[in-house]
Amino acid sequence: MRLSSRMKFLITNSLKGLASLLVMLGVYLLLKEVVLSRAPDAWVEQIYARPLLVYLVYCLSEFFFGIFPPELFMIWAINKDTIPHYFLNLAFFAGVSYLMGYLTFLIGHAIHKRPTFRLFRTKFLKGLFPLLKKYGLFLIIIAALTPLPWAAISMLVGSAGYPSKPYLKYALFRFARFAVYGYIIYQTHVI
């Protein structure tokens, strides 16, 4: 059976996403074992004492092209409180990610004809534009499920003039990513 180029792209990026998650979890567990086990209060207390700051950093990160991977915030959430609170945080993170993606989509849609945005697109998003031409709305699904920069893809799709309804429908795959990654992080911490 021969796979289409879209399916190959999806599978390849999904495997890259899973590999990056496993590497991140490995680094985190190593850091936890070597550094945090010796002086946990000095490191952890600084972060856990300011949850609103963590939420603000997450929102800004999701708006500014995913500066920090959402999985870091999932790890923070699983260590912060009880399991029900972890799932509430996970739902919050997924909802914020979805909304920030839509916000950047709308920004892209609003400014796509401006010369400054064309310069920005040519300078910073030049590698993503050929992907959009090749994969179209399928790229939204790929970006929603993989480590591709979610906000950047959303802005790019908006700047290409795609309609909102299909974008919002395909962007729902973002929740699937958070569910799968959240479950993997849950399994690695609860057992």
Bigger pLDDT: 71 vs 127: 71
The pLDDT of residue 26: 73
pLDDT at 168: 95
pLDDT (tens digit per residue) in 109-120: 888 777 777 777
Range of the domain at 131: 5-190
CA distances from 6 to 91, 134, 141 (A): 29, 9, 11
The residue type of 107 is I
In the structure, what pLDDT confidence band is assigned to residue 153 with cuts at 50, 70 and 90? confident
For residue 102, the model assigns a pLDDT of 96
What's the pTM? Answer: 0.73
Could you tell me which residue, 181 or 147, shows the higher pLDDT? 181
Q: How many domains does the chain have?
A: 1
